Structure 1
């Protein structure tokens, strides 16, 4: 294209840019006549020269006849009708037809609806995308462990040995076959250390139960062979919300060991994605070998698994660390490694709850830890402790027979009192050598202060002196009769008119009352006390003769008077006889 034609086209392009609606056609026709070509060729020449006027943006660009609320309704219907496995059983076309029939959305093409759904991010493919997740980190080996159980879907273990679960025998349409081998199914437990990805695997029989979970966890934290270094108690254990995981006994074990337990939300298996992935690794890299082995028992299966696991942890390079799992786990420091107690103590911890005991007068308590003798523990150093205080105690699993004492919302670890050959505390004061008093408790201080205030004293000796002199307490401060006096002054104790009454005649009762007479010996003792040396053996013989049935109480004084006057002892008849 020559320069003259290009300059002319630039002029035409400027005129077209400034032309109003309806004025462009005459300009193009004039240019076509001048250049001896058609209108279409004029537009082509302008395009070739790069002078094409851009098309004006539509005023309704970005708008849709389908509103956001309508798009959300369509997307919501499809979302609700989608199965748990992700299968979409309601199409956009069917959902649109339902809503068109009800007048909920305009009668437009499905393509228009699809564009609107994508624009509003309500399209089924957009709704099916997973929620963005955050990748978390742990700080060191044994900081965080993850545990998960999975039913082995490939094999079961009857008495005859490991058997393959054939697809044609065991599938959803034959539940009876699955039920038949329910107790023979093998459960695989996988435990991983989040920091190093070191793995512990153990197979159990039956089902996911708290007993199996406890057994596997206790085995995983114990020290094993040198080629299997992963051991110790983790700080945190992440698991799902299965009934076995949340059983009271297992959670009690974790609490006693000082393990924080985190249960992720249902359906969020990514929260423990590491152990989920290692379940897959075990299935692919270990269980794929079982078809070529003759396994007869669970112990044999676990023996093969232990051998494979040691090989895997020692040689498999992790993609995150670029090192083997054992190499990373072995970076754990002494401060980070919490050695597990013995299996005997661990099993006791499963059912151990804090025990409430009372403090003895010498500020000690006694407690028996399984595997150790009964021990005494001195609580003197606990703040504000006092006799008969109630405290909670439980064995410290890492320092047995030390115990953890909970007092004033603080936990103290107490060691047993050291004793000598005679059983005395070696730190007790020696008699005649030293005198050591226990620290004064808050109750002691309060008691002394109250007694001083009660008697207006400055010292304890003044209090003792006032009490010895029977002085009244709180003189001038407390009126012990105030409530009684107020009742009289307020008229709460009215005068009562005495009513006429009958006198009770007790003479008949008194006269008829009989008292058991003295025996001869008792009577002789009474008379001897009254007469002294005047009482003789002859008098005793007369007494026995005159009173063969015993001597009445009323006759003693009269008999004594007769003896004093020199008269013989004679039988005195009672008045009523």
Structure 2
């Protein structure tokens, strides 16, 4: 609001306050006409500049006529009719009507003065659901997020791939052939341009170390494939001149996808004993660090490429060389707000036992293409692999005759890795030492299965969700509820008849109306006539005394063939024709 309008409104407010009862409306009407605004607008503007007394709290504020049990049942029915996309299929009105018809809820209030019992309105029920924190909007809200931490540099790496807005096309004039996709040219209504850009697009892989936020970026062509992922991961683990971050991480976090969960990357991680953490689909905040790093690389590095000469960005190798220069500058100079150090300085806090030196790139590429093999445990708790025996006694729960998945150990030639699953379901790796047949035994302590994760305690909404699940399934614990869901048990034990309120309602009968017959004429199917032999075969069973006379009659009566549709009539005619005729009675006259 302007100063003039504010001053005018202040004057109106003073006059309005001093006016006696009954004349305040005229003052407001006059002000509306003078200022050229509506009455509601005037009230809203006055509320912004005038201090008003707060409304008196109602004596029954916070009290709800709807019981908690009824609220839970109504909420459970609404959640049962909720689609995964959040669409509510059953309205509150229908749910309440259905439950009332089945006698499962009361949902009424008693008038304190007259004692009259009245049904609660839908709005009152919705307010009660929100007060109880049982409203579907509250139950479907995202669960609270928790901050995760890593223990040391190279403990957790996050990997993400993204198709760049950069792509290559033939040079036009003096440009370098490097293009930035313009949304006016590349969108769904121009598929030809979109396909052209996708085929020639650059893909950007970004890897971040969770503890230090050290960033590694690399560019590939050909899309998000297992080969590209393995090559970028190998280059990130190898030591590079002028860069601090390298080594084998203990864990990597990725999005689900065919390339991220494919055999090539899985084989490489299994051989290097790297735990792979696949995030849930549709949960980008699980690895928000690398998502932000993607944005930093795009805005800080890629935006400068179009300013370079064509001979500086005409190959993928030159772009990656420029990216390496940017990485050294970015990781070595930019202060991170979380730890107050540069990314390289934070990564250099790694200790010697935490820095796992990777094998050569050639060996790691060979491991990526080598699938684990299955080997049977012998009676001596050993497995055979490439002509040697390895002790499997240290594998928890190993049994004679059981099959173990084993692969090469890239760091030692005298041992192999056995791949198993821990109690938490994560992949664990056990080192099987090459043994002499006269000595073997189990190790003193079991290998680390995996790190544990902490989470927030259940919020009231999450507790209500579990309780509603028990209520809907009629179970006493969550395991029984899951079993009931798996067994496709009817919700609420079949106590609810969803059509009872429909059947109990008297629907008026519809008055019959006079109509007009349709003029459609059914098509006539004309069958070809039967030959005399075909007709004789079908009619012979009806005449025990069948003879050549019957056949001759058919030939004489139907020389062109017998109609297939009139076979019954033909049989009747034939029967009448073959019936023996009675001789006429002769009368004798007596003279």
Normalised by the length of structure 2, the TM-score is: 0.48
Q: Which has the higher contact order (CA 8 A, sep 6+)?
A: 2
Structure number with larger C-alpha Rg? 1
